[in-house]
Amino acid sequence: MIPEQFSALDEAITRIRNGRLSRRSFLERTLAIGLSSGAAVSLLEACGGNSNSSGGNGAATNLIWISEQDQSGTYQMLVDTFNKTIGQQKGLHVTYQSGPAKTDDLLTQYTNMLRARNASVDVLSIDIIYPAQFAASQWTVAISDTQWPAAERAKFLPGPIKGCTYQNQLWAAPLRTDLGLLYYRKDLLPNPPKTWDELNSLATATAPSKIKYGYVWQGAQYEGLVCDFVEVLYGYNGTILDPNDPSKVTINSPEARQALTRMVSWVGTISPEAVTTYQEDPARQVWQNGNAALMRNWPYAYALSSDPKQSQIVGKFDISAMPYGGSGTVGHSAIGGWNLAINAFSKKADACWEFIHYMLQDDAQKQLAIKGTFTPTLQSIYTDNDVLAKQPLFGKLGPILKNGLPRPVSPKYSDISDILQRYIHQALKKQISVDTALSSLETELKKALAS
């Protein structure tokens, strides 16, 4: 939904509560805005548009939550449970909307809304790369120690908590983390590759003789490409900024040359030419249709690739750590993740926190793991027997999580990312050489950091 649609939704809610809109018109309008029929009916009930509804006196506080795209149905399921339990008890109702596939598009949507000081969305899912930027712009509400006591926070993974912290204050609650994984077809490859050299050999040995493509990944010009690039770069022991002094640009290095040369070499050989247009989902479609021996993707692809209704490769694949190369000895996943923040312009901050807090509890965190194969932030989930029995990948994530590394951490992250996306993509498309890409990256990143 775009901000205008959220405003239209807000208006429909206000009108039905004031008795100025019939049930039928409310449903027509909300469906036209893009809500599913289930969400429209449950919102109608919460607004008092159904005389049988127990919360139907018009007293419910309605919240709108927009998230990154969720195709597993996990978020909607959790919202439904919240609405039927705590929501009923406390007079709250959450309307959920799954957002666009690209985090870059969600950022644009938020930026437009928040610059206009608009509160048409109350709870915002924000990517782990943005809390500093949102906090510095005063777009989100700080989460206090009283709301979320230190003893409770200590049960969560420290990395995502750090990612939501800016100037010693928490600006979002870490809902789930994310980490790049190497998916491989265990029916075709006896063992997953440990190094990029091995990956090349295995991909070449299987494709195209046994399967259409060797390796699919995210090569389109967008945020996902930055994640794929840093994973190869970090595996070669390269960096973008000096970890001890992030004001220094270190991208123009022999390690980065090895990493980018490696990626460029995949296009049109072990990977299809079209990989330079792939985001997560197109790569997953090729993989799920049984057309790739190896894939780089996030954990969400595990649940969807295990779903017989949509996948041709159920039971035929497994996951492993990202490979390494050069003088590297261990692979590194890029750390991703999504966090729940309260829109600073919303007048319903306390109600938002009620919902966010529910999403941090054991039950919700466990469902994230079981239904969506999202990697939760609550640490106990990784040793929960029920989770391990239902989603065996959780037994393998410990060392992968430990070796995960963030993208550059900076309030100027959007600028840094735009520059990386542009030059890496041009190199992949062979429009510029690897050397030109790295020297341009050095110059442009230095400029961006100095501005």
Structure tokens at 422: 């542009």
Cα 137 to Cα 132: distance, rounded to the nearest angstrom? 9
Q: Please state the closest distance from residue 94 (CB atom) to ligand GLC, in A.
A: 21
Cα 100 to Cα 200: distance, rounded to the nearest angstrom? 33
Cα 304 to Cα 254: distance, rounded to the nearest angstrom? 38
HEC profile of 200-261: HHHHHHHCCCCCCEEEECCCCCCHHHHHHHHHHHHHCCCCCEECCEEEEECCCCHHHHHHHH
Q: CB nearest ligand GLC: which residue?
A: 336
Q: Please state the closest distance from residue 280 (CB atom) to ligand GLC, in A.
A: 6
Q: Please state the closest distance from residue 113 (CB atom) to ligand GLC, in A.
A: 19
Hey, how many other C-beta atoms are within 10 angstroms of the C-beta on 190? 8
For 85-205, list the strands marked E by DSSP.
92-98, 123-127, 165-166, 169-170, 173-179, 181-185
- By DSSP bridging, strand 375-376 and strand 241-242 are unpaired
> Residue 62: helix, strand or coil by DSSP?
strand
Q: Please state the closest distance from residue 334 (CB atom) to ligand GLC, in A.
A: 8
Nearer to ligand GLC, 272 or 299 (CB): 299
Adjacent-strand bridge partners of 324? 195
Nearer to ligand GLC, 118 or 125 (CB): 125
Q: Please state the closest distance from residue 404 (CB atom) to ligand GLC, in A.
A: 11
Q: Please state the closest distance from residue 177 (CB atom) to ligand GLC, in A.
A: 8
Cα 42 to Cα 250: distance, rounded to the nearest angstrom? 53
- Using CB under 6 A as the criterion, which residues of the chain lie in contact with ligand GLC when the complex forms? 68, 103, 127-129, 178, 223-224, 227, 280, 298, 336-338
Nearer to ligand GLC, 55 or 336 (CB): 336
Q: Please state the closest distance from residue 448 (CB atom) to ligand GLC, in A.
A: 19
Cα 116 to Cα 325: distance, rounded to the nearest angstrom? 47
Q: Please state the closest distance from residue 299 (CB atom) to ligand GLC, in A.
A: 9
Find all residues with CB under 8 Å of 108, minimum gap 6, and list them: none
- Going by C-alpha positions, the residue among 99, 71, 39, 51 that lies closest to residue 374 is 71
